[in-house]
Structure 1
Amino acid sequence: MCKPQEPMDLPIADLYARLDSAYTAPTMWIAQWVKFFSTKQKPEATLIQFSGDLRAKAETCNFPDDVREKNMIAAFVMGLKDEVATKKLCTKSLATLQDALNAAIEIEMTRKELQMDDVKTEVNKISQKGRKNSQGAGKECYRCGRRNHSPGSCYFRDKRCNTCDEKGHSSRKCPERTSNKYISAEERRPYDIL
């Protein structure tokens, strides 16, 4: 490797350079192209970062000028993490990588807006449902005094009151009991005293 000179006559930096060139495999164009076309958008990467990464990798590929831009567009569309955006971009006429980037950003923003609209609709449905439940839960049943049901479905609807012996309410909500809070023990029925 050093001929016509001897290795001891050469500076160390020159020796390293000769060794690197001898043992480094030459990079083939096909390997660079495969690496370029297999590039995928990373989960945390934005569309702008992904397009920048493709531009940098395209520099090492030595694409012919007439197909360079088309190759970058193809790699961009194939490598997107959003499959819906990939399908939509396949239907568009794109002249440059910048056109593809702008179209992908527009699709991404539209999808986010639609998802936000879906979330807002869902939140409105839940809040409407919550209002209905809280309105029903806030009313007290006149038959028993509880708030977890309506008077029509109350257990005491067909039961007799222990205070007045009338049907349709509990002794807790008895009209006689509430009108005469302090009834003497003699006036109470024998089972009320116990």
Structure 2
Amino acid sequence: MTLPLPALPQFDGNEEDFPAWLAQFSSALQYAKVEKPEEKRNLLLMCISQRVVRTLISVCNQKNVATEVDFDELMLQLTLNYRTTPIQLAEYNRLFSLRQQPGQSAREFASQIGHVAGYCQFPIDLKRVQAIVFSMGFRDDNIRSQLIQKDYKSMEPALQLARQLESLGIETKRTSGNRPANSTELADVKRVGGTGATTTTSPQCYRCGRTNHTAANCRFKEEYCRNCDKKGHIAAVCRSTPNQQQQKQPPTQQRQQSSGKKRNNQQPHKSHQRSTP
């Protein structure tokens, strides 16, 4: 009993697609239980493009491939023309130069590596090589830096980590875009001695110039400046420019002289009023 044929795989002459097409075509023959050579030949001609048919006619000396060439001969010519023997050095270069392309998912990149690696012969384990290429070729710099920290025995663990990091990055971008940065995140965070510990520095105190406290908690907020005689800061951070007399005399004498001048200026005015008739 001949079963109805499924959708037939088409081969358009791309050499890279020939192994996959051949596997599909062989499966179709087995599924439909096609055994007669004529039926196999007819089915074969239905599964290849016109360009491939022209190639077969050419290599078969312009014979009518539908009636004059048997199925086995056609399959032999297809194999000789489209199944290439890879040059190992070129295949190595092709494999190790693979890089994830824009818009290509981690799963698609892993599948591409597996396809190209299938043409190579390695002195080391093939699964390990695929993991190395996947880690080194990953497009995202941050994810790649995480992947190359470990020598994976196969590509699957590296793929799982990459997908987790991709999901984490997407979630981080989504959440960080909906909240404002707090004061701690805006502070200047410095790494200490490479140990991973962090210290956060406060804004510089305008009263004394230090950064380990705020101006509201400064112990010099009741202090008088020796430079400008103003209350609330010390001379080391004073921004005022004192006159020459203030620079020569201490702030206490300056305040005494200032108050004495005011009393002296008032006395002559009062005596002048008493002497007037």
TM-score for the superposition, normalised by structure 1: 0.49
Decide which structure has greater helix share: 1
Greater relative CO, 1 or 2 (CA 8 Å, sep 6+): 1
TM-score for the superposition, normalised by structure 2: 0.36
